[in-house]
Chains A and B, each alone.
Chain A
Amino acid sequence: MGMEGIGASVVRKEDKRFITGKGRYVDDIKLLGMTYAHFIRSPHAHAKVKSIDSSAAEAMPGVVAVLTGKQIVDDKVGNLICGWAITSKDGSPMKMGAWPAMAPETVRFVGQAVAVVIAESKNVARDAAEAVVVEYEELQAVADMPSALKPGAPQLHPEAPGNVVYDWHIGDEAAVNAAFSKAANVVTLELTNNRLAPNAMEPRAAIADYDAAEEHFTLYTTSQNPHVARLVLSAFYNIAPEHKLRVIAPDVGGGFGSKIFIYPEEMVALWASKKVGRPVKWTGDRTEAFLTDAHGRDHISKAEMAFDADHKILGLRVKTHANFGAYMSLFSSSVPTYLYATLLSGQYNIPAIYAEVMGVYTNTTPVDAYRGAGRPEASYLLERLVETAARQFKVDPAELRRKNFITQFPHQTPVIMAYDTGDFNASLDSAMKAIDYAGFPARKAAAKAQGKLRGIGLSCYIEACGIAPSKAVGSLGAGVGLWESAEIRVNPVGTIEVLTGSHSHGQGHETTFCQLIAERLGVPISQVSIVHGDTDKVQFGMGTYGSRSAAVGLTAILKAMEKVEAKAKKIAAHALEASEGDIVIENGEFKVTGTDKSIALPMVALAAYTAHNLPDGMEPGLKETAFYDPTNFTFPAGTYICELEVDEATGKTSFVNFVAADDFGRLINPMIVEGQVHGGLVQGIGQALLEHAIYDSNGQPVTASFMDYAMPRADDVPSFKLSHTTTLCPGNPLGVKGCGEAGAIGASAAVINAITDAIGNNKLEMPATPDRVWHAIHG
């Protein structure tokens, strides 16, 4: 493998351009004749658009056009779609209201666009937007799920009576009822999972460029999955056929799920570019990000767990309401169903599970996948419930977990997932050792003597990633397959380009993917380039989300690599007059095993392209493609333990220690894995202590800037102690599982369990602000 192969903490290749300011983001791109878009957005959460008077704006110098929702509907640009069909308990399909890219008649959340100004400069567009007079008739809004579900509540969409999108369930209700009827103990917990605003560092942006002569569009956009964007824009939004639409996602500054979706602004930019005959650029600002980037989480749940007299879990019953906001975003429907309820078995042997999930419309920003997407909600619910049970039974929370751990694999849960491998005791042991769990009672007593409330909290999470086997997700309603593609081009001089359908927006693919090539061929990673993010360069691919790029994307590269190696060996064998089976690859050379005969990779590549002396019948060239469809999800799992102190007088939490023991299978680049875990943990801690996207009762956002939306800062989080226990994933040849979301999935329960342990009151919601904690202590 050498110094740069699998398992080496190679410094990230891409960081040189990022840290020297040479990254090329959408907003850095300027096209000749480019115009600028500024959207006119609803200040009301629910209103009829009575009229739009743009005459004054259109007369302003530098204004190219003012375009409205009515025009985009008249031009037959399609409504936004939701790509995963969910069926309710009663067999009916989910009930979706129409979502036009700009509202022609009714606005349903603050920030929804009703019109757009296209102008010669950003400032002119903004000036003109102020001159457009929009007359609204305000309607009563519903900003939260209990209000939306009340009889007589204002209705968002005629298609969805009672503001209910679906009423779905999973599992065996009768078996769960039977389990509860014989239970010695039942533990109940009601909890919310707070709404979050994703806040990628780079706000969303788009440049659309229509070429009238070719009837061809180019879209530069902040996307995690440019091919999916092209597919949806083409097949559903009637922008252009796929071969007439190129989508480029260049450097993208963070996504966390929020850049999976195709948003109204990209659709409008493309449509407007054709209308005005010039390139159109839109760059969102932070306020627009808060108002229009799909939010995450927002569940209200009731959970009950049945135990026998020996504290073995007999059954789990969960009822969840999931807030979808005003419209169904692209993959929103799958998040609180197949990405959530299927993980409710956690790391435990639970013979019977029944979960009901009701999806609800409210006059708020749409909600969709955000780092973890459903799995943090499942993990938080389950890990708080198990911790609650331990306290109720007065047993050690670690021992209660251990007693119920799944130890035999494969393990079929009652909620679809079949865990392939894992060692939950190993990660629990590793975390307990790292934090000196046994010494905690003494530390708690010592802290108490100094007037501090100290607590410890565990979270044993499991997640499903490496998304996903296409046939399985298709049977569950997904509108797409979730394989990945790769192409490997060995150039005539032996350098290598890897074209991947995965998209890197912070994950470090340009380094880790090269490491696989270094591992296989023994060449330095400087000899390898990763090409991604451009539908004209890269074959169709599915993009990056759901911690899938290593398990699925890198496996596709491996499959292509195997084909390249096979052909290269044939060429080498021919050149060396040896048997193909005797050729081995070492340090960039093809050697005849047991001899000193060898031929270097550049010579093999050159032979492939000169084609002067190839084996009979062989095609010239050295370039191979592979599509890889996984056979199962992968199941990263681990234990997080948080130790902290609460200031009784102020309710403020201070971390003492935070340990993470993860099982991600094989690590490609441990340094990058560590960075991913750190980032995930910070997001999980952010959810637990700080972040909350709040609306007032009229649907006005209260937290639409960093002055009110508390993002975690470096001094809000501890230094983490990480460790890894490894069981290789049997589902893919690399044995990798995925590490991008684990931290965000597992951290929040550990923090809240630690605080509730410290203060001796289990009734505490996220974010556990000092105010909330102080009230939980003092009433």
Chain B
Amino acid sequence: MYETTYHRASSVDEAAALFAKGSEAKFLAGGHTLLPVMKQRLAGPSDVIDIGKIKDLIGVQLSGDTLVIKAATTYYDIMTNTDVKKAIPAISYLTSVLGDPAVRHRGTIGGSIANNDPAADFPAALISLGATVKTNKRSIAAEDFFKGLFTTALEDGEIITEVAFPVPEKAGYAKMRHPASRFALTGVFVTKTKSGDVRVAATGASQSGVMRVSAIEAALKSNWSASAIDGVTVSAAGLLSDIHGSSDYRANLVKVMAQRAVQAAG
């Protein structure tokens, strides 16, 4: 690890001010991506600004038809939160299959989406549920937030403060775990909104990160059931292919995981 200066911010404003002062500052939430790359010397930030302990960034609120999860809330806290279980149990389930207990006690929803790993679980949930990402500067629709591999709409120094999820009619998540990393080899999140819209998002599959799966959405719109997807063919074009899963295998997983997600959603 290169030498760096560690700061623990106590407010979002303080974090933003510290960031502005650093020559090459980075925010630290759970640290599951930043710290390993720092240890490998692939990143050498001048300043590391820990936003994981800012009280305003931790917690869950359910008000009406909106579930708000603040950015520095850990996966474990999300998984065990009763409002999450009540409003969107699929999110609770998603966090239960995310990493292992050590990961779940450190990792945060904000850190996950800011990093936008193409195999991370949360981006699929945000896209499928039609969430809104709120930052210290603005609100960004999930669809506009994720911009391909490890890229987001976040500007330099912008801090995610919370994610607002509209409570759906039904939602489900199913994931084939990557055998080594335990990220999603392919994961699919399906949502039927209260207005009857259907949105399906897959992670771990596409070369350009989290993606909508329109063919499956169309099939589910006319018939919300796993069997409705039987006849759908998912193209392998543009899908990831590596030692753990060829593109045709991932194309199959998109379909199979979508079916299982629908079953889970009920």
Contact = CB atoms under 8 A, between A and B. Distances in A.
Contacts of A703: 180, 243
Given A126-B41, A692-B243, A694-B243, A650 B180 contact: no
A771 B243 CA distance: 9
A652 interface: yes
A660 interface: no
10 contacts: A649-B256, A690-B180, A692-B243, A711-B180, A770-B176, A770-B245, A771-B245, A771-B246, A775-B249, A778-B252
Given A649-B256, A650-B256, A706 B244 contact: no
A567 to B, nearest CB: 56
Contact of A710 (B2, B40, B180, B253): B180
Contacts of B100: 713
Contacts of A127: 2
Given A692-B243, A771-B245, A775-B249, A650 B176 contact: yes
A708 B176 contact: no
A769 interface: yes
A774 interface: yes
Contact of A709 (B2, B3, B40, B180): B180
Contact of B253 (A287, A650, A707): A650
A702 interface: yes
Interface in A670-728: 689-690, 692, 694, 702-703, 706-711, 713, 716
B243 to A, nearest CB: 6
B230 to A, nearest CB: 11
Contacts of A770: 176, 179, 185, 245, 249
A689 B180 CA distance: 11
Interface residues of B, number: 19
A130 B41 CA distance: 10
Interface in B231-266: 243-246, 249, 252-253, 256
A287 B42 CA distance: 14
A769 B180 contact: no
B184 to A, nearest CB: 13
**B179, B245, B256 — which one has the most chain A CB atoms within 10 A of its CB?**
B179
Given A769-B244, A770-B245, A774-B252, 15 more contacts: A123-B1, A123-B3, A126-B41, A650-B253, A651-B249, A652-B176, A690-B179, A703-B180, A706-B180, A770-B179, A770-B185, A770-B249, A771-B244, A775-B246, A775-B249
A707 B245 contact: no
A708 B180 CA distance: 5
Nearest to A690: B179
Contacts of A123: 1, 3
A647 to B, nearest CB: 9
Nearest to A778: B252
Interface string A110-146: 0000000000000100110010000000000000000
Contacts of A692: 243
Interface residues of A, number: 29
B176 A710 contact: no
Contacts of B3: 123
Interface in A753-779: 769-771, 774-775, 778
Nearest to A652: B176
Contacts of B41: 126, 130
A774 B40 CA distance: 35
B249 A771 contact: yes
Contacts of B252: 649-650, 774, 778
B243 A708 contact: yes
Nearest to B176: A650
Contacts of A651: 249
Contacts of A709: 180
Interface string B11-28: 000000000000000000
B31 to A, nearest CB: 16
A771 B181 CA distance: 16
Nearest to B249: A771
Interface string A306-323: 000000000000000000
Contact of B179 (A650, A702, A769, A775): A769
Contact of B181 (A649, A702, A707, A775): A707
Nearest to A127: B2
A172 to B, nearest CB: 41
Contacts of A708: 180-181, 243-244
A778 B246 CA distance: 13
A123 B3 CA distance: 9
A713 B179 CA distance: 9
B246 to A, nearest CB: 6
Interface string B92-105: 00000000100000
**B100, B181, B249, B256 — which one has the most chain A CB atoms within 10 A of its CB?**
B249
Given A126-B41, A702-B243, A708-B243, A774 B249 contact: yes
A123 B1 CA distance: 8
A656 to B, nearest CB: 19
Interface string B157-201: 000000000000000000010011100010000000000000000
For the complex of A and B, list the 4 residue pairs with the smallest distance between their C-beta atoms, beginning with the closest.
A710-B180, A710-B179, A771-B249, A649-B256
**A690, A706, A769 — which one has the most chain B CB atoms within 10 A of its CB?**
A769
A750 B175 CA distance: 28
B253 to A, nearest CB: 7
A43 B228 CA distance: 51
A284 to B, nearest CB: 14
A364 B148 CA distance: 34
**A123, A690, A692, A771 — which one has the most chain B CB atoms within 10 A of its CB?**
A771
Nearest to B248: A775
A711 B253 CA distance: 22
A130 B44 CA distance: 13
Contacts of B1: 123
A710 B249 CA distance: 18
B249 A707 contact: no
Contacts of B40: 287
Contacts of B181: 706-708
Contacts of B249: 651, 770-771, 774-775
Nearest to B186: A650
A127 B179 CA distance: 34
Nearest to B260: A649
Contacts of A130: 41
A774 B181 CA distance: 20
B206 to A, nearest CB: 17
A224 to B, nearest CB: 27
A398 to B, nearest CB: 31
Nearest to B257: A650
Interface in B29-52: 40-41
A412 B87 CA distance: 71
Contacts of A702: 243
B202 to A, nearest CB: 14
A769 B181 CA distance: 14
**B180, B252, B256 — which one has the most chain A CB atoms within 10 A of its CB?**
B180
Contacts of A126: 41
Contacts of B243: 692, 694, 702-703, 708
A651 B186 CA distance: 14
Contacts of A774: 249, 252
A775 B236 CA distance: 14
B88 to A, nearest CB: 25
